[in-house]
Amino acid sequence: MNFKTILAIESSCDETAVAITRGRQVLSNIVASQVEEHKLYGGVVPEIASRRHAEAIYALTEQAISAAGITKKDIDAVAVTTAPGLIGALLVGVNFAKGLAMSLGVPLIPVHHLRGHIAANYITAPELKPPFLCLLVSGGNSVIAKVTDYTQFEILARTRDDAAGECFDKAARAMGLSYPGGVTLDKIATTPDFNKYPLPVPHVEDSKYDFSFSGLKTAVINILHNLDQKGEQCDVPVLAATLRRRVSEILTKSTIDLAKETGIKTVVLAGGVSANSELRQMMKDVCQNEGFSLYYPELCYCGDNAAMIGVQAAYEKATASSSLNARATMGIDEVF
């Protein structure tokens, strides 16, 4: 598409975000986080998330337009995260975007949330172009995708149960760490010790590359229960580091093995878990040793934001009518 200035909206979970983009250039990127409120409940409460999106989205839109130094007349299209995510949260963004596009008389562009996460790399690395292999890891998704073009994706590996971020979050909660668990776990982790806390290396019987993280989560919970029954204290920073190391090893191995098999020399990280310090460093070290180019987003673009949605929208080929509806689940290779 040739839309010059795009207003993008993201509301798939607990961040309300609005951005103004031009190609890969970010003119403004405003995010309202609900972390402190959901921290009271130990996780995202969907009903609260939806209400907060509805309360914040108009003001954020005005802020984004003002921060970009443009007026509504300069907007060529409206883009919105349409799937996947919490359905109530998505509906707030989709319905607001439909109304805004209609009032401005501009096209409406639906964007897949995971495509947006991949596009976050285009902001950080303007030179990055497909084809490449992408490890996309978040609280709800863990996949390795072959990106052959900006809108062409092939899933080569996926989790069979928990996502990597979900494993981190649930294990962190069991350790008594505060929400968001994965972020807190990464911050307090020290040095791994597999002799002290033996964690398994899960395997998927019918696939060399697919992931399984449910067993790791259960292993952490069992370690904590056994220690509690013996009246012994857990060295939480060491257990956190041991889990972080194991998950990073699993993700890195599958990604690099697939890169070798496919012959693709460019590897990309995306999604919220791409902010994990050990995963970034491990992938960096292995890619350097194996001769692969590695890209990952700036930390500010790893989490949910609207800039990545606007950047991906510039490459999308489809626009939507006012009948557009949100979808809680949707494959990255599906078409709206």
Q: Which residues of 201-237 are buried (b: 16+ CB within 10 A; e: fewer)?
A: ebebeeeeebbbbbbbbbbbeebbeeeeeeeeebebe
Q: Looking at residue 98, what is its pLDDT? A: 98
Residues of the chain with pLDDT under 50: none
User: Rounded to whole angstroms, how far apart are CA atoms 65 and 71?
Assistant: 6
- C-alpha closest to that of 92 among 28, 48, 43: 48
Distance in angstroms (rounded) separating the CA atoms of residues 60 and 131: 35
Under 8 Å between Cβ of 226 and 205:
no
- CATH superfamily for 6-119+301-313 is ATPase, nucleotide binding domain (3.30.420.40)
- Alpha-carbon span 64 to 224, nearest angstrom: 46
The domains spanning 6-119+301-313 and 130-297 adopt the same CATH topology: yes
Which tokens belong to 323? Answer: 């009948």
- Angle at the Cα of 100 from the Cα atoms of 99 and 103, rounded to 5 degrees: 85
Bridge pairing between strands 77-83 and 6-10: parallel
Global pTM? 0.95
Question: 188 in helix, strand or coil?
Answer: helix
pLDDT, tens digit (0-9, with 9 covering 90-100), for 244-277: 999 999 999 999 999 999 999 999 999 999 999 9
The domains of the chain are located at: 6-119+301-313, 130-297
Length of the chain: 336
**How much is the pLDDT for 1?**
58
**Is the domain defined by 130-297 classed in CATH 1.20.1290.10?**
no
pLDDT in the model for residue 42: 85
